Amino acid sequence: MKQTAALLYPRSTAARQAVSLDGMWKFRLDPQGSGVAEGWKDGIGAKDTLPVPASFQDFFTDKASREYTGDFWYETEFFVPPEWKGKAVYIRFGSVTHRGTVFVNGAEITRHEGGFLPFAADITEAAHYGGANRLVVLVNNELSETTQPVGRTETKPDGTKIARPYFDFFNYSGIQRPVRLLALPKTTITDISLIPRITGDKAELEYAVETVVGTTVETAVGTVAETEADARLTVLDEEGRVVAEGQGAKGVLSIPNPRLWNVRDAYLYRVWVRLYRDGELLDEWYEDTGLRTVEIRGTEILLNGKSVYLKGFGKHEDADVIGRGYSPAHIKRDFELMKWTGANSFRTSHYPYAEEVYQMADREGFLVIDEAPAVGLFDSTSNFLAANRGQKKVPFFDKPGTAAELLENHLQAVRDMIRRDKNHPSVIAWSLFNEPEDTSDAAVPYFKAVFDAALNCDPQKRPRTFATVLFNRPDTSKGCRFSDFICLNRYYGWYVLGGYDMDIAEQALRNEIEGLKAQNLGKPFVFTEYGADTDGGLHKLPSVQWTQEYQTEVLEMNHRVFDRYDFIRGEQVWAFADFQTGEGIYRLDGNKKGIFTRQRQPKAAAFYLKQRWENLPENYKTPVQV
């Protein structure tokens, strides 16, 4: 049975059971890497416990634990009901960062590479039914130039490993998203793809259902092969009324008088998929989705055929104590704050977020640029500075023995991200890299492979893009030719010409955009990062860098420039909230570019953005129809 059966979002239905395994798990660091040889798969021998889901680092008060790099182990016990015998039983992990090996009752079940997407362990044969089971997970958080995200791992003179990220956020790790025990039927739904189409006042929802048929079934006359199951679909509106029905693995559902999903005006339909054989229900699952279309036409981003201007943020999954751990409380608070500012969008910088974030975006009508964990493809442990200053321009994709393995991991991450998120109406584009070094010819086949994979994987054929840094201008970048729209990360007024040189920074930004205008690329541009670090309690008149006044002035300067050009179709400030980074003299206990503090309280700039965004219409810069 394919693992994909367990990768659908876990729901309990008449045919499925999903049980949370979240809670306090035993935990143990393994700095010598001896756990495998010493048989920790049979029990890690630890008394210390940690909550799952959460990052492990910020629970500790000693620096060696917080900065720990290497192997570490989790353990918990779970019960499998006896009536689950005969079903397919899985343990589904929302994510394990950055790689994990799963053991159940001492047997290795599966391994997974990649820390921001779900995977499942099939424990059907290993489980003890009607009794206790031991789950042990070996996790490793080391970085390399072939992992996603990218970095390297060094060893200090005393033998201690240390992570050297090529990215500007803390290397939080562990079992950071929910873990669930699943019981699924042997003949089951493994996937569904939905493609909405809108013509005038009519809507159609094309669908394709994938299933796996169990190999055999016991009957009164012996064991026989199972036959194909019959797929039936039912679409309900938000009031629970049936608005469409269909039958078969593929088809088109016509929805009369459709209510469209719109920016900040969401409407969701529930699509039930059920499998039957001879009138018996075998499996059922549902997907909440919206009816909307997304396309790029000239320099416009169109939602349902109407121009939309992106207003919002780059974000991180990051909070006090839990690090990058799943937190429904923070998800709720973040969306309320974004609504308060008048935002309508965000980018999942720099990795796919927890599934529940997209579900909230679907319900709230936010537009999401969904980003793969391809960050740090630039040879520098401080690449966020080097990139913006045009330093250390190492041809990253020219490295022998690196690019091929990196590409394999990159493609798998893109495929997994799109498979997971493809039906979310909130997801309007895929961002396939963040700030890569793509000025060498070797980047061309690499980018083509990634962009082609995204196109081929996505049934809805959403726009594809990536975020560029200062020296990666469209005239020097080898990757921009593949983008359906151009994303710019620019820090004029901060890393470039800051302080009293802000007037020069403004002119430099205008000069760059005039150069882009002269190229007449005929594509929309979105500023996906701009801003300035700011201490949440620092004020000064006249302003100086790091004050709240200066942060607002940097934003005002950028907006003056953005407003002059019709082909700039969005502004996503960096960042929504302050977040943790590694140590360094360029960081004051983390990145402080947040419009909100890490505790989700507003800085002065939040009130400025609220005033601006509430007064910018969703169709800002739409050409006047004559």
Number of compact structural domains in the chain: 3
pLDDT at 326 > cutoff 80: yes
CATH of the domain at 409: 3.20.20.80
Asked if residue 387 lies in contact with residue 469, where contact means CB atoms within 8 angstroms, the answer is yes
**pLDDT band of 6, cuts 50, 70, 90:** confident
Residue 329 binned pLDDT confidence (cut-offs 50, 70, 90): very high
Residue 225: which pLDDT band, with cuts at 50, 70 and 90?
Answer: low
Separation CA 72–CA 436 (nearest Å): 30
pLDDT in tens, 511-569: 999 999 999 999 999 999 999 999 988 999 999 999 999 999 999 999 999 999 999 99
Q: Do 192 and 149 belong together in one domain?
A: no
Q: Could you give the C-alpha distances from 554 to 503, 569, 570, 606, in angstroms and in order? A: 10, 19, 17, 13
Residue 435 falls in the annotated catalytic set: yes
Is 512 noted as a catalytic residue in this protein?
no
Give phi and psi for 566, each to the nearest 5.
-70, -25
State the pLDDT confidence band at 394, using cuts at 50, 70 and 90: low
1 pLDDT band (50/70/90 cuts)? very low
252 and 322 fall within a common domain: no
- Does a structural domain hold residue 623? no
What is the model's pLDDT at position 282? 96
Place of tokens 């983008």: 483
Give, in degrees to the nearest 5, the angle at Cα 138 between 107 and 12: 75
The tens digit of pLDDT for each residue in 397-439 reads 877 778 889 999 999 999 999 999 999 999 999 999 999 988 8
Judge if 254 and 366 occupy the same domain.
no
Is residue 167 domain-shared with residue 271, that is, in the same domain?
A: no
Tell whether the model's pLDDT for residue 303 goes beyond 50.
yes
My answer on whether 316 and 451 are in the same domain is yes
Q: What CATH number corresponds to the domain at position 17?
A: 2.60.120.260
Residue 76 placed within a domain: yes
- Residues contacting residue 378 through CB under 8 Å, at least 6 positions apart: 150, 166, 386, 387, 392, 394, 396, 435, 436, 437
- The span from the CA of 49 to the CA of 71, in Å, is 16
Q: Do 168 and 215 have their domain in common?
A: no
Residue 300 is assigned to a structural domain of this protein:
no
Over the chain, what is the mean pLDDT? 93
Q: Residue 132 sits in which domain range?
A: 3-184
Residue where one domain finishes, among candidates 141, 166, 184: 184
Domain membership of residue 484 (yes or no) is: yes
Tokens coding 133: 């089971």
CATH (domain of 238): 2.60.40.10
My answer on whether 82 and 102 are in the same domain is yes
Catalytic residue among 75, 145, 529, 618: 529
Q: C-alpha angle 91/430/404, rounded to 5°?
A: 75
Which residues on adjacent β-strands are paired with residue 367? 345
In total, the chain counts a number of residues equal to 626
297 is a domain residue: no
Distance CA 108, CA 311 (A): 47
Domain boundary, last residue among 184, 207, 238: 184
In a domain, 251, yes or no: yes
Q: Are residues 170 and 236 in the same domain?
A: no
pLDDT band at 477 (very low <50, low <70, confident <90, very high): confident
Residue 390: which residues within 8 A CB-CB, separation 6 or more? 470, 471
How far apart CA 119 and CA 104 sit, in angstroms, is 15
Q: Are residues 355 and 240 in the same domain?
A: no
**Residues whose CB falls within 8 Å of the CB of residue 150, separated by 6 or more in sequence, listed in order:** 143, 144, 166, 167, 374, 375, 376, 377, 378, 406
Of the candidates 273, 111, 114, 285, which has an alpha carbon nearest to the alpha carbon of residue 205?
A: 273
Predicted local confidence at residue 3, as pLDDT = 53
Rounded distance between C-alpha atoms, residue 13 and residue 284, angstroms: 7
Whether 205 shows a pLDDT value over 90: the answer reads yes
Contact 269, 255 (CB under 8 A): yes
Whether 499 contacts 467, CB under 8 Å: no
Q: pLDDT at position 555, please?
A: 98
Rounded Cα distance between 578 and 551, Å, is 13
Is 470 part of any domain? yes
Say yes or no: 366 and 449 in one domain: yes
Give the tens place of pLDDT for each residue, 488-513. Answer: 999 999 999 999 999 999 999 999 99
Q: Which two tokens stand for residue 403?
A: 């690019």
* DSSP code of residue 158: T
**Rounded to whole angstroms, how far apart are CA atoms 162 and 146?**
17
Distance of CA 105 to the CA centre of its chain: 32
Catalytic residue among 142, 284, 317, 435: 435
Neighbours of 393 (CB within 10 A): 17
Looking at the structure, tell me whether residues 124 and 36 fall in a common domain.
yes
The label of the residue with tokens 């005006």 reads 265
| Chain segment 353-380, per-residue pLDDT in tens | 999 999 999 999 999 999 999 998 876 6
Give the torsion through C-alpha atoms of 185, 90, 361, 606, to 10 deg. Answer: 170
Residues 23 and 61 in one domain: yes
List of E strands, 416-539: 427-434, 464-468, 486-489, 525-529
Check pLDDT > 60 for residue 222: no
Specify whether the CB–CB gap between 601 and 578 falls below 8 A: no
Domain boundary among 122, 149, 184: 184
Quote the tokens at residue 215: 């190999």
Whether 150 is in a domain gets the answer: yes
